[in-house]
Structure 1
Amino acid sequence: MAADDSNGRLDDDDYPAYTMGRAAEILDTTQGFLRAIGEARLITPLRSAGGHRRYSRYQLRIAARARELVDQGTPIEAACRIVILEDQLDEARRINARYESLDPDHSR
C-alpha cells in the first residue's frame, strides 16, 4: 500500500482507523460503553484481521452523541434510538438541500 493511499484513508470519515481502546480514550468512556452501543446496533465496528473492533471518525461522532445523552440521564437504548433518528433527520435535510439546489425557484 502506498503512503498516499493510507493518508487518503485517514482523511476518510468512514475508514476504521481507531482501535477500541483508542476510541474509548478519545471519547473518555469505557470499552464497555462501546460494546453496549454496538449491541444496541447504534454502530457496528469493523473487525481487523485479528478480530479486533475498529472504529471510524463518523462512528466516534455518533458514539460521542450517545454518550452525551447517557451522561444527561437518558437510558442507553433510548439514547441510541435518539441518535439514529437525529442521523436520519440530518441525512433527509442534506437530500432536501440537494433537491432545492437543483430547483432554485422552488418555493414552500
Structure 2
Amino acid sequence: MAERDGATPVYGIAVAADLADVPEATLRLYERRGLLTPFRSDGGTRRYSDDDIDRLRRVAELRDAGVNLAGIGRVLDLEDENGDLRRELEEERRSR
C-alpha cells in the first residue's frame, strides 16, 4: 500500500474534530476566520489532512496561551512564512 503524505485530505469533520479535541462548530469558525482551509469535495464536504489536524492542535496551543483568534492567525501566517523560507534556503544549499 502506498504511503500518503500529511497533506492528503482523508478525515471528515466529525473525525477531525475528535482528533483535534474541538467541537465541529469550532472547526467551522476557524475556517471562517481563515485559520485553516480544508479540502472540499465536489459535493462540498470538508476533508481534513494530518497537516490540518496538526494546525488545529497549534491553534489550540495558542488559544490556551491566551492568544486571540486574530493573533493566532498572524502567528500561523508568520510560522508558515518562516517554514517556506527555511525550505527555500535548504533547496538553495542542496543545489550548490
Larger Rg: 1
TM-score (norm 2): 0.86
Task: Work out the number of aligned pairs and report it.
Answer: 96
Match of 1:14 in 2: 7
Give deviations 1:40-65, integer Å, cap 9, x for gaps.
Answer: 11211122344321111111111211
Amino acid at match of 1:88: E
TM-score (norm 1): 0.78
Q: Distance in 1 between matches of 2:34 and 2:84?
A: 18
- Unmatched runs of 5 consecutive residues or more in structure 1: 104-108
Identity of aligned residues (%): 31
How do 1:3-82 and structure 2 match up within 5 A?
Answer: 4=1, 7-8=2-3, 11-82=4-75
State the shift of 1:28 in Å. 0.8
State the shift of 1:99 in Å. 0.7
Q: Describe the shift of the 1:101–1:50 C-alpha distance in structure 2 as closer, same or farther (beyond 3 A).
A: closer
Amino acid at match of 1:96: L
Aligned-residue RMSD, C-alpha: 1.6
Q: Which has the higher contact order (CA 8 A, sep 6+)?
A: 2
